[in-house]
Structure 1
Amino acid sequence: MIDRDSQLQKLQTLKVIAETLNQANDLYSMLRQVLQELLEVTGLETGWLFLIDEKGDYQLVADYNLPPALTWDQKKPMCEGICWCVDKYNKGRLTRAANIMECKRLEDAIIYNWGETNCITHHATVPLSAGDEKFGLLNVASPNKTHFSNAELALLESVAYQIGTAIKRIKLVENEQNLALLAERNRLARDLHDSVNQLLFSLVLTVRGTQEMTDDPDLREMLTYMQELSQEALNEMKALIWQLRPQGLENGVASALLNYAKVLGIELEMDVQGVIDLPSKVEEALWRIGQEALNNCKKHSGVLKSQIMIRVTSKMVTMKIKDNGCGFHYVEGQKIPSLGLSSMKERSEALKGTFTLASEIGKGTAISIEIPNREA
């Protein structure tokens, strides 16, 4: 009877988890929901999920009912430092569900008096994988529980495999969507280049030719004004095509921004520190933010000079953009004063980053972006 009840519980757990995973499209909300459901149906008290990238850097992406000792300062103990389960995972020594004798994070909490541990000292850890791909770790624990049975570990392995498969599915969908978006941008850029851009170029030439056919000063003045407008529209169209399909982004974001500055006629001073080998979403965000900042410099600063500094470490990417133009009045904490600046902030925060704006009339504008160096 005990084995039958245990088997029924396992099947019910897998059914509940599978239903959640099949309906999910957002990775992080899916992981949080699945973790909570797993703990509820198994009677375990707490758990957490790490995603671990190819560099071995981990990210806490979901947790449930962590003890106070692990939640202080925005869960700092769970987001920094080393632990035995992640270390074993990175060394390739963790391929199946395993009992971990003690949790180093909780051990440190006791040593350094971080707070109440709720009598949790041990946890089981299970790698998240799908086929040959590895994604991270599932950890679960309960007060005074120092051992997990083989049946419990087998159930956790089954759930972890389901989670790994769902992660792979979501990542494949995201890649397909990104490729479709890129293809659409390229198509739109080609259409604009082949139609509107060529029409504007023809208009510039037509107005220029018409000027040479008349000696009427009023007409020549009007044609000059039309030529200036059409040339400005042509330049705007070139910049728009550039935004849709940046030339040089395949050589890195720094190269693309230098090329874009040339299109705008801006003298750009670029300072790069560290090796730029960035996840595609991070590189895309830096490109779009830098692009908008250069546009603002061109249109509003009153100067055609700008400086960009990019600093890359294993954990963080920092980009600072500065001009010495006219600036504007802005007090930190106030509402962002323009749609373009707001979009920069939104792009940064969408990747768990930060956006800082500083500007003062007569003293230019400085923007600082910090984004974690990982897949978002």
Structure 2
Amino acid sequence: MHPTEFLNVRLLKEIAEFINEETEIETMLSGALRKFLQGTNFETGWIFFISDKGKQELIVSGNLPEALAQNGCSQLKNGGCWCVSKYREGKLEKASNIIECQRIENVLAAKIGDNGGITHHATVPLQSGQERFGLVNVASPNTVIYSKGELELLESLAFQLGSAIKRILLTKQEQEIALLQERNRLAKDLHDSVNQLLFSVTLTARGGAEMTAQAEIKETFKEIQNLSQQALNEMRALIWQLRPSGLESGLLEAIKGYGEMLGLSVHSNVSGVINVPSRVEEALFRISQEALNNIRKHAGVTVAEIYLNVTQSDVLLVIKDDGHGFLINHEIRLSSMGLQSMKDRAKNAGGSIDWDSEIGRGTEILVRIPY
């Protein structure tokens, strides 16, 4: 075996051992790219994820020269390139030399910093079987054409990364399924045990109040009945949060059903076709649950309005009420009314959330999640 081939095999083995231990995609890609750049003649690299709709996202990069790294890698994130165009057209099947890169040409023309001698790059599609994820781009200073051996090594890296991405995605999917099954089990246990016990206490207290003529004892039974009914309502809401019955019939139906369970009338207005990934749908539903809980507990009204606008790239959810409203200040933490929970859910789904509220003028929550 030629010494170079031996070194390449050892490098790929080292990368394989590394990515096999990783469970997060970005960490895995970043570490693997770093090892690849350290063990080859390539000095810089970056990886794009490209959605089925053609939307590109810079996931990780390594050893970028000043000109490409400026302003949060804005020069790489904006503009087009032959590699991305061919990828979108399904015409990029193997590692290739990129003769013209619009991004790098724009950097050179703008003279915004040291480009480190980077004028051209090589690219390879990132995929596992027929499932495609994006592109791996690498480059070396003052290099226009990369050798056949370098391109083959790049293809080997992409094969490893594609397989690792697929493994991590499948693992997360299995974890989500297991979590859903555990939620369903817990919801069933709560319904069959605690929920039934609280219902029995409510009926017993009602019967006790009707059986006694003593006002003081009657009042005690009524108080027990009220408390147990409140606990029963809270339990039903908790079961809904664990297992949202109705979500299989659509997001809006689930939101309306949850609102009705809380005693709220939910009016809805929809524009666009509701056809979003399940992770986005669940995030929107969980945020809506928290918002409706707040309306029931704090707003002092029984009507809520839901606006849902779905575009080709994102979904906007607006939840409004004309209730008491509130002020956000140092004395009222976000978490005190579940706002921090909603913010975290939106962030975890890759989106954002904002709210507008004033005392006596109600509250409006705006959630935007790309997909």
Q: Aligning the two structures, in what range does the TM-score lie when normalised by the shorter sequence?
A: over 0.9
Decide which of 339, 342, 349 is 1:341's aligned counterpart: 339
Deviation, 1:367, is 2.3
Aligned to 2:262: 264
In the TM superposition, residue 112 of structure 1 has moved relative to its aligned partner by: 5.5
Secondary structure (helix, strand or coil) at the match of 1:212 reads: helix
Distance 1:154-1:177 versus aligned 2 partners, 3 A rule? same
Equivalent pair of 2:78/2:103 in contact (CA under 8 Å): no
* Distance in 2, Cα, partners of 1:107 & 1:342: 44
- Which moves more between the two structures, 283-292 or 272-281? 272-281
Q: Distance in 1 between matches of 2:88 and 2:99?
A: 18
Contact 1:123 1:140 in 2 (8 A): yes
**8 Å contact from structure 2 (residues 291, 319) kept in 1:** yes
Are 1:308 and 1:319, in contact at CA under 8 Å, matched by a contact in 2? yes
Pick the aligned partner of 2:222 from 213, 224, 234.
224
Query: Could you report, residue by residue, the CA deviation over 1:28-50 in whole angstroms, capped at 9, with x for unpaired residues?
Result: 11111111111111132211111
Q: Secondary structure at the residue paired with 2:245?
A: coil
Q: Among 53, 56, 78, which residue is 1:55 paired with?
A: 53
Cα distance in 2, alignment partners of residues 75 and 359 from structure 1? 36
- Larger mean Cα displacement after TM superposition, 119-128 or 361-370: 361-370
CA distance in structure 2 between the aligned counterparts of 1:67 and 1:319, rounded to whole angstroms = 40
Q: Specify the code of the residue in structure 1 equivalent to 2:310.
A: V
1:66 corresponds to which letter in structure 2?
Answer: L
**Greater mean alpha carbon deviation, residues 323-332 or residues 126-135:** 323-332
Tell me, yes or no, if structure 1 residue 296 matches structure 2 residue 294: yes
Q: Residues 115 and 279 from structure 1, CA distance in 2 versus in 1: closer, same or farther, beyond 3 angstroms?
A: farther
Kindly indicate whether the alpha-carbon contact (under 8 Å) linking 2:335 and 2:341 is maintained by their aligned counterparts in 1: no
Q: Could you list the per-position Cα deviations for residues 128-163 of structure 1 after superposition, in whole angstroms to 9, with x for gaps in the alignment?
A: 122222221111112221111110011011111000
Is 1:155–2:187 an aligned residue pair? no
Q: 1:148 to 1:286 in 2, by over 3 A?
A: same
Pick closer, same or farther for the CA change 1:328–1:194 going to 2, 3 Å: same
Amino acid at match of 2:306: I
Match of 2:213 in 1: 215
1:289 CA displacement: 1.2
Letter in 2 for 1:295: N
Structure 1 position 58, deviation (Å): 2.2
Which residue in 2 is equivalent to 1:94? 92
C-alpha displacement of 1:340 = 1.7
> Is this contact kept in 2: 1:330–1:360, CA < 8 A?
no
> Corresponding residue for 1:18?
16
Offset at residue 126 of structure 1 (A): 0.7
**Which of 173, 176, 179 lines up with 1:175 in the alignment?**
173
Q: TM-score, normalising length from structure 1?
A: 0.91
Q: For residues 2 and 351 of structure 2, what CA distance do their matches in structure 1 show?
A: 49
1:76 corresponds to: 74
**CA–CA distance in 2 between the matches of 1:313 and 1:68?**
36
CA–CA separation in structure 2 for the residues paired with 1:283 and 1:79: 28
Structure 1 unaligned blocks of 5 or more: none
Q: 1:271, 1:116 → 2: CA distance? A: 52
What is the CA deviation profile of residues 187-223 of structure 1, one whole-angstrom value per residue up to 9, with x for unaligned ones? 1111111111111122222222222222222222222
Specify which of 355, 358, 364 is matched with residue 356 of structure 2: 358
* Residue in 1 that maps onto 2:41: 43
Change in Cα spacing, 1:134 to 1:119, as seen in structure 2 (3 Å) is same
Identity across matched positions, percent: 50
Paired residues of 2:66 and 2:114 also in contact (CA < 8 A): yes
SS at match of 1:196: helix
- After TM superposition, list the pairs within 5 Å mapping 1:101-140 onto structure 2: 101-111=99-109, 115-140=113-138
Matches within 5 A, 1:278-317: 278-317=276-315
Worse-superposed segment, 248-257 or 25-34: 248-257
1:251-276 residue CA offsets vs partner (Å, 9 max, x unmatched): 33222111111111112222223222
Separation in 1, partners of 2:77, 2:70: 11
Of 127-136 and 308-317, more deviation after overlay is shown by 308-317
- Structure 2 length as normaliser, TM-score? 0.93
What SS class does the counterpart of residue 64 from structure 2 fall into? coil
1:254 aligns with 2:249: no
The amino acid across from 2:185 in the alignment is R
Tell me the SS of whatever aligns to 1:338: helix
Q: CA deviation at 1:239?
A: 0.9
Shift of 1:358: 3.0
- Local SS of the residue matching 1:326: coil
Give unpaired runs (5+ residues) of structure 2: none
| Aligned equivalent of 2:231 | 233
Q: What is the Cα-based RMSD across aligned positions, in Å?
A: 2.1
Relative distance call for 1:338 and 1:78 in structure 2 (3 A) is farther
Q: Secondary structure at the match of 1:92?
A: coil
Amino acid at match of 2:195: N
